[in-house]
Amino acid sequence: MRQHVNPLSRFFQLPRPLPSPEEIFEQSSRPLHLDIGCARGGFLLGLAPLQPKWNHVGVEIRHPLVLSAERDRQELELDNLRFLFCNVNVSLEEWLDALPRDQLQWVSIQFPDPWFKRRHQKRRVLQPSLLIALATALQPGRELFIQSDVLSVIEPMVMLIEQSNCFERPRDDSQAWQRANPLPVPTERERYVLDQGLQVYRRLYQRNDQQAPELSSLEALWQQVDNSSEEEHPDC
């Protein structure tokens, strides 16, 4: 059972200053991987030891999960990993803006909370302002990876990313959905879905050299994204 929180509630709309890489990593100049919506952190706890020359930051809106993930990280003594509590659509843009050029090299958004209905559009994790902030922080060739087991969740994300004109799929990726996960560690949700014999929908994008669009123009395009699956998920 997924535990939803409403990111538009007053508590989650309060900006939270986030510590810079220099404040949380001893070797802060390493390339940075940002995992948005890291939940309990199992994915990053498995990935960080395999990539010791990278720093990894997981951000999550559910504070108890962040506290649990940080306890596990400390027990494992992983100095290239940190978990931060925030609403990414309120607090992350300023943090991204302050990063040194080309420090952020990989972004993942995996199995985000399934806000299906169009009236819940503003509750979805990937908003136009966040996408523009990511596109600004990522240099050409750096990567954005998204995946979900719910088609009506990932399709609006795909549409928004492609409407921005800031990202392209790798030239050798001709399938509608990427079959294999490019990351060496699956999330808990991914393992569960695959164990049930269900499909995971994946897309890998690379930052191109196009300038990020104006927020107003991308928001206007975003409003045209219509999710036709509301009737399929009446309880969400």
Which residues belong to the active site? 113
Classify residue 197 by its DSSP letter: T
Give phi and psi for 227, each to the nearest 5: -95, 110
Token pair 């902030």 is found at 133
Instruction: State how far the Cα of 217 lies from the Cα of 213, in Å rounded to an integer.
Output: 7
CA–CA distance from 111 to each of 22, 59, 214 (Å)?
29, 14, 27
Q: How far lies 127's CA from each of 73, 134, 156, 225, in Å?
A: 29, 11, 10, 12
Q: How far apart are CA 232 and CA 236, in angstroms?
A: 9
**Residue 214: CB atoms within 10 Å:** 11
